[in-house]
Amino acid sequence: MINREMITKVFTTIFLIAAIIFLVYEIWPEKEVVQLPGVLAPQNPVQVNMTEGSGWIKDEYFYEALAQFKIKAKVLCRSDYNFDDASSVCPTDLALGWGRMSDQTVVDKIDIWQGGRWYKWKADKLPIPKKEIETYSANMHIIPADQLVQNVLDQVALGEIIEIEGYLVDIKGPGGWRMRSSTSRTDRGDGACEVVWVEKLTIVQ
């Protein structure tokens, strides 16, 4: 017969195992690809705004396409989410850089991190003008269109050069939940992140 002491021991063991897994996940060093010096993604993102929005439904969410979108960029930071309101549709945020923000020698002089769906940075001494850092980098909420894209996304590491093709989208969900995409690379603050429905994802280097 199972007594209360045995049940307590089982739950304690489960809790300790879960805590160890969580700590390992948090402190385990993230894989990073260090590139050779030089601008590796020189072109600006390509965006073609849609004059008449089109949309589709997936898993009770409605996606409204705002623009066709394509970008080649360096992964400046990556953050995966499992428990916030958006994690079921946007499991990953990628902070991406292009132009001189894809140059390893520039990026090495900037501290970059993410948190709460935000991308942040600081530098003791700016390697390039502040406006250029802000204009040639952005935080993007990534929505894999299918499992093939998700499989590639799972492999994307800090520092890699990637290419994304898809759409900038607004999302409407159950209970009035919404997520809106920026359609500009020059805006700042709340609402400045791109929400990207990704139909093709390629790791270039």
In this predicted structure, the answer to whether residue 177 has a pLDDT above a threshold of 50 is yes
| pLDDT per residue as tens digits for the range 54-70 | 899 999 999 999 999 99
Backbone phi, psi, residue 127, to 5°: -75, -25
Report the pLDDT value the prediction gives residue 20, as an integer from 0 to 100.
53
CA distances from 54 to 32, 51, 68, 152, 177 (A): 37, 9, 11, 26, 19
Q: pLDDT band for position 27 (50/70/90)?
A: very low
Report the pLDDT value the prediction gives residue 83, as an integer from 0 to 100.
87
